[in-house]
Amino acid sequence: MSEFGWTLIWGLVLFVIVFLVNYFFVLKRGYKKITSGKKTKKKMKRIEDFIGFSILIPKFKLDVNKMNLNYVFVLSSLINAFIIALVFVVIYSIPWDLPFQILLGFVLLFGLIYALYELLGRHLVKKGWKKDGNKKN
């Protein structure tokens, strides 16, 4: 098998691992802590405090109460895993010097984050999970 084939296999393995870790240990565990109802002296976290949602909710004016959070968690985890795996495969496949690979990695990372979360936000708006759904802004 060629070196690029092995890189794709490692990218697929990385995709699955990142998806599972992000979904079960970051998003689900964090959401369970929020909904458990334990109030401490510290500021209570909200669903808007999750990294991906802190950008999506205010930008697209999404209503958290209308959203199917499990669906959004799966999509967000898939996006995060896809971004990390794709950047890994591209960077590992290109035989450049390390500084140029790092620079390309940052450009790809930020570009993919912006583009894919923009698409996710538009998809969630089309599903009707926007605040004041009857009004067009």
% helix / strand / coil in the chain, to the nearest 5? 70, 0, 25
Place of tokens 């690979």: 101
Looking at residue 45, what is its pLDDT?
61
Q: Considering the domain boundaries, does residue 51 fall inside one?
A: yes
Distance (Å, whole) CA 47 – CA 23: 14
Bridge partner residues of 130 (DSSP):
62
Residue 41 pLDDT > 50: no
Write out the two tokens for 24. 């079960």
End-to-end CA distance of the chain: 54
pTM strictly above 0.75: yes
Q: Considering the domain boundaries, does residue 133 fall inside one?
A: no
Bridge partner residues of 62 (DSSP):
130
Looking at residue 101, what is its pLDDT?
94
The pLDDT confidence band at residue 48, using thresholds 50, 70 and 90, is: low
Q: Considering the domain boundaries, does residue 41 fall inside one?
A: no
Q: Are 19 and 77 in contact (CB under 8 A)?
A: yes
Q: Considering the domain boundaries, does residue 136 fall inside one?
A: no
Distance (Å, whole) CA 31 – CA 50: 9
Residue 137 pLDDT > 50: no
Q: Considering the domain boundaries, does residue 80 fall inside one?
A: yes
Per-residue pLDDT tens for 51-87? 677 788 888 888 888 888 888 888 988 999 999 999 9
Per-residue pLDDT tens for 95-136? 889 999 999 999 999 999 999 999 999 999 999 888 874 555
**Buried b / exposed e across 82-119, counting CB within 10 Å, b at 16+?**
bbbbbbbbebbeeeeeeeeeeeebeeeeeebeeebbee
Q: Considering the domain boundaries, does residue 95 fall inside one?
A: yes
Tally the domains of the chain.
1
| Residue-number span of the structural domain to which 27 is assigned | 3-33+46-126
Residue 49 pLDDT > 90: no
Q: Considering the domain boundaries, does residue 25 fall inside one?
A: yes
Q: Considering the domain boundaries, does residue 39 fall inside one?
A: no
